[in-house]
Amino acid sequence: MATVGISATGETNGTQPTTTVDVLIIGAGPAGIMAAAWMARMGLKTRIIDKRNTKVFCGQADGLNARSLEMLDSLGFGDRAWKEANHMIENPDEYGIIRRSDRVPDTPVGLSRLQQSTLHQGRIERFFLDNIKKYSNDTIKVERGVLPESLEIDQSKVEDQNAYPVTVKLRFLTEEEAAPRQLGGSKVSDGLFRSNLFQEADEDALIRQTYGRAGTGETVHAKYVIGCDGARSWTRTTLGFELEGEATDMIWGVMDIIPFTDFPDIRCRCAIHSATHGSLMIIPRENNLVRLYIQLVEVKPDASGRADRTKITPDFIFNAAKKIIDPYKIDYEVCDWWTAYQIGQRVGTNFDAHQRVFLAGDAVHTHSPKAGQGMNISMQDCYNLGWKLGLVCRGIAQPNILKTYQSERRRIARDLIDFDNRFARLFSGRPAKDILDAEGVSMDEFKEAFVQGNMFACGLSVNYGPSNLVLKPGNAEDQGDGSAVAPPSVAMSEADFSRKQALATGIPVGMRFNSFQVLNQSSAQPWQFQQRLPADGRFRVVLFAGNIHSAQQKERIESFCAKLDAPGSFLHRSISGGDGGVCDGLHSVVEILTIHSAKRWDTELLRDFPEVLHPFRKATGWSYDKVYVDDVSYHEGFGDAYKNYGVDKERGCVVIVRPDQYVAWVGELEDFDEVQAYFEGCLVLKDYKNGVASSPVAVSSPEGPVATNGISMPVR
Ligand SMILES: Cc1cc2nc3c(=O)[nH]c(=O)nc-3n(C[C@H](O)[C@H](O)[C@H](O)COP(=O)(O)OP(=O)(O)OC[C@H]3O[C@@H](n4cnc5c(N)ncnc54)[C@H](O)[C@@H]3O)c2cc1C
Ligand SMILES: *[C@@H]1O[C@H](CO)[C@@H](O)[C@H](O)[C@H]1NC(C)=O
Ligand SMILES: *[C@@H]1O[C@H](CO)[C@@H](O)[C@H](O)[C@H]1NC(C)=O
Ligand SMILES: *[C@@H]1O[C@H](CO)[C@@H](O)[C@H](O)[C@H]1NC(C)=O
């Protein structure tokens, strides 16, 4: 058996139980629980383990950006996070000699309906765990105090979709072994046990301790493994992959305190940039807490690259903060949490092994905490991976889509490192004395970086490159990530692409679908359109139907719908099958949603729209939740969706949206063939007879399934 990555093997204690799972997730931080949330949604048999026996109750990452909130909302608990969080709407953006210069909104206006907000990681984890419990019917639980001991990939099986090529041996720790040690020596809980400044407990020693005890091991055979085990990732090391990049010598202290201060903007996110004592970043939090990121100019790492930890105490860190904020005064009684950090800017060489073991989050990219992206971007990694893995594992999508995980996410990680490098340099540089001072950092430069940083930081500048999941011109392999991504299934010239993109200027291909208000055609209920794009594993074709009452436009719509409803159409050949989860057996994995622009009062759902846009099923009747209108709401005003999406109100257009809300394609109603090609290029299309798949071969069946009442009933 060809294997990779064996570590810490030792004598075992008798026979060990052996189990199989679809997906094993190692690490239950933000990345791991996001992965588990998708798996729960997709109905996969999943286990998630973590070596620590407690979740993080305070500290760590302190907030969510707009895109992260949209993701939580798509999973069904955005409202919980939103209610509890401290929203950051205004943001005085920089200080010279502690002089307020101007204020900017924290999230650029109009980019997202959700603004960035702060809430600690422990709460966010709680929301996730509740959600996972709900959707997995309590079958996916975080197993704590569990350490992986070895990981092997049987390369002879990686092409076989039914095989379990990955074998992971697990060891169970006792309460005591799994408890994180508090190294800081103070009464306040600290995060030093996870900080990169110090060595961690010896995991091999912990594993050895378990050998003596009966029943403390298990062998798991998995189809897929996701390593979400943080900056010192065991999974990454075991696979022999590395992080590239230099650790810089910048050290930062972090404290969560309730401050007593005369500093006026303590409740706004801001940065203080002192002449000689380094920089300080202030982030207001819930319950009157404030997170301070404090640059520690007086400690430097030694020759081995490690800092002297005896020096790093809350008093030492706070004294540095006092110097920076001078002439204002600051003090505190309550400190909730503290830690110290050495900034390393690194990105992983590989994000997967054989598309069977994946790495996500801090395991593949680390960067300075004050750019504040760690948690957001770690969750976003798994938001990108989760549905792909789910659809492939269920045989709905082609395995080659898994390659886009690395091509899409590694580039984002690298962009972040580039941004972070620039930001960190600006942050720890000294202010320029005057315009001729080339070494110093000018305030203009700093301010510009801060504003740009906000754009980047709210997570909405992500723009994925061409692949079989995003149809745009260009070379799929040109994304500098080293993975051989399948090319777009429709070859497009730049000119073709610009023509198509011009049909929906506010819906850029490769970026996430923005949200504006539309109304339910049947009930007039207002919706943020993004709320109709929940994370349930479905692709969506959004038909901007335009003016349905124009005869000419009606003809275009009918012609598009006839092709959509033809037996060979992807719609009738992408039925998800399976059991439970959101992919319930009768639904196509592609949902068709319509937004039209005629007056709602003049329009009738059943009269004016072809059946395929509001399909009928005997058990549930017609679908009243698929057709929306861009019209004025009784209570909520006008969303002006066509205008905001940049779509022509007469002619409309068609948009393909991926399960993670990223835009895959934009085109005309006449371009049905391209829509078909898109799904042929990424899904496994099958033929069905009476709802049962007859063959996975790409030939069209003579007729679609028909309901006994004679109404043509697409199984959807
Ligand atoms: C002091 C500090 C401040 C931060 N501030 C911010 C901020 O302001 N904004 C922001 O967005 N991010 C911030 N971050 C970063 C953020 O916490 C991380 O980027 C984020 O937690 C990464 O998520 P993750 O799931 O990839 O890894 P982690 O959160 O590190 O989770 C990894 C999990 O894997 C477990 N694990 C590790 N090894 C093993 C193993 N061998 N077996 C089983 N389980 C294992 C660990 O116990 C842990 O639960 C901060 C981090 C720190 C330490
Ligand atoms: C991501 O979350 C962090 C948490 O620190 C938040 O402060 C930040 O603003 C979000 N992203 C960014 C950097 O905007
Ligand atoms: C959920 O789990 C319970 C207990 O195991 C079981 O009785 C129930 O049928 C399950 N429900 C679903 C929808 O699977
Ligand atoms: C739209 O309105 C119909 C009719 O009232 C209702 O059955 C359906 O649930 C609504 N759906 C949404 C998403 O508003």
> pLDDT by residue (tens digit) across 132-152?
999 999 999 999 999 999 999
What average pLDDT does the chain have? 81
Is 607's pLDDT higher than 80?
A: yes
The band of 479, judged by pLDDT with boundaries at 50, 70 and 90, is: low
pLDDT of residue 127: 86
**Which range among 86-95, 474-483, 550-559, 695-704 shows the weakest confidence by mean pLDDT?**
695-704
In this structure, are 501 and 648 located in the same domain?
Answer: yes
Q: Is the CB of 139 under 6 A from ligand 3?
A: no
Residue 670 is assigned to a structural domain of this protein: yes
- 334 or 287, which is more confident? 334
Q: For 417-442, how does the pLDDT look when each residue is reduced to its tens digit (9 = 90+)?
A: 777 667 656 655 666 666 666 666 67
* Residue-wise burial string across 591-610, b where 16 or more C-beta atoms lie within 10 A, e elsewhere: bbbbbbbbebeebebeebbb
Is 539's pLDDT higher than 90?
A: yes
Tokens of 183: 């190294």
Ligand 1 binding pocket mutation candidate from 146, 195, 347, 378 (most atoms within 8 A of CB): 378
In this structure, are 610 and 500 located in the same domain?
Answer: yes
Cα dihedral angle (47, 50, 51, 57), rounded to 10 degrees?
-150
Point out the ligand 3 atom lying closest to the alpha carbon of residue 137.
Answer: 1
Domain end marker among 361, 377, 397:
397
Residue 636 is assigned to a structural domain of this protein: yes
Residue 591 is assigned to a structural domain of this protein: yes
In this structure, are 362 and 500 located in the same domain?
Answer: no
In this structure, are 30 and 138 located in the same domain?
Answer: yes
Q: For residue 213, give its domain range.
A: 1-62+120-242+349-397
CATH number, domain at 53? 3.50.50.60
Point out the ligand 1 atom lying closest to the alpha carbon of residue 340.
Answer: 1
Ligand 2 binding pocket mutation candidate from 34, 56, 64, 252 (most atoms within 8 A of CB): 64
The whole-number average pLDDT for the span 239-245 is 90
Please tell me the total number of residues recorded for the chain in this structure: 716
Residue 651 is assigned to a structural domain of this protein: yes
Asked if residues 312 and 253 have their Cβ atoms less than 8 Å apart, the reply is yes
Ligand 3 binding pocket mutation candidate from 137, 139, 584 (most atoms within 8 A of CB): 137
Q: How many CB atoms lie within 10 A of CB 276?
A: 9
Point out the ligand 4 atom lying closest to the alpha carbon of residue 625.
Answer: 11
Cα(191)–Cα(183) distance, integer angstroms: 9
Q: For 578-592, how does the pLDDT look when each residue is reduced to its tens digit (9 = 90+)?
A: 433 333 445 688 999
In this structure, are 187 and 58 located in the same domain?
Answer: yes
Rounded to the nearest angstrom, the distance between the alpha carbon of 57 and the centre of ligand 1 is: 13
β-sheet bridge partners, residue 26: 49, 227
Q: Is the CB of 128 under 6 A from ligand 1?
A: no
Residue 402 is assigned to a structural domain of this protein: no
Rounded to the nearest angstrom, the distance between the alpha carbon of 424 and the centre of ligand 2 is: 15
Domain end marker among 397, 426, 458:
397
pTM for this model (two decimals) = 0.84
Rounded to the nearest angstrom, the distance between the alpha carbon of 65 and the centre of ligand 2 is: 5
In this structure, are 501 and 392 located in the same domain?
Answer: no
The band of 543, judged by pLDDT with boundaries at 50, 70 and 90, is: very high
Closest ligand by atom to 580 CA = 3
Residue 653 is assigned to a structural domain of this protein: yes
Domain end marker among 397, 419, 454:
397
Asked if residues 169 and 150 have their Cβ atoms less than 8 Å apart, the reply is yes
Closest ligand by atom to 526 CA = 4
Cα(583)–Cα(585) distance, integer angstroms: 6
In this structure, are 369 and 507 located in the same domain?
Answer: no
Q: How many CB atoms lie within 10 A of CB 696?
A: 11
Q: Is the CB of 137 under 6 A from ligand 3?
A: yes
Question: Roughly how many angstroms between the first and final C-alpha of the chain, as a whole number?
Answer: 43
In this structure, are 387 and 513 located in the same domain?
Answer: no
Q: For 81-102, how does the pLDDT look when each residue is reduced to its tens digit (9 = 90+)?
A: 666 655 554 444 444 444 444 4
In this structure, are 578 and 703 located in the same domain?
Answer: yes
3-state class (DSSP) for residue 448: helix
Rounded to the nearest angstrom, the distance between the alpha carbon of 124 and the centre of ligand 4 is: 30
pLDDT of residue 675: 98
In this structure, are 32 and 176 located in the same domain?
Answer: yes
Cα 479 → chain centroid: 19
Closest ligand by atom to 626 CA = 4
pLDDT of residue 218: 94
Cα(570)–Cα(584) distance, integer angstroms: 17
Looking at the structure of the chain, the number of domains it has is 2
Which DSSP letter does residue 399 get?
G
In this structure, are 20 and 168 located in the same domain?
Answer: yes
Could you list the active site residues? 62, 285, 293, 369
CATH number, domain at 687? 3.40.30.20
Point out the ligand 2 atom lying closest to the alpha carbon of residue 371.
Answer: 13
Residue 180 is assigned to a structural domain of this protein: yes
3-state class (DSSP) for residue 598: coil
Closest ligand by atom to 116 CA = 2
Rounded to the nearest angstrom, the distance between the alpha carbon of 96 and the centre of ligand 3 is: 60
β-sheet bridge partners, residue 366: 346
Rounded to the nearest angstrom, the distance between the alpha carbon of 137 and the centre of ligand 3 is: 6
Point out the ligand 2 atom lying closest to the alpha carbon of residue 68.
Answer: 1
Rounded to the nearest angstrom, the distance between the alpha carbon of 417 and the centre of ligand 2 is: 15
Residue 284 is assigned to a structural domain of this protein: no
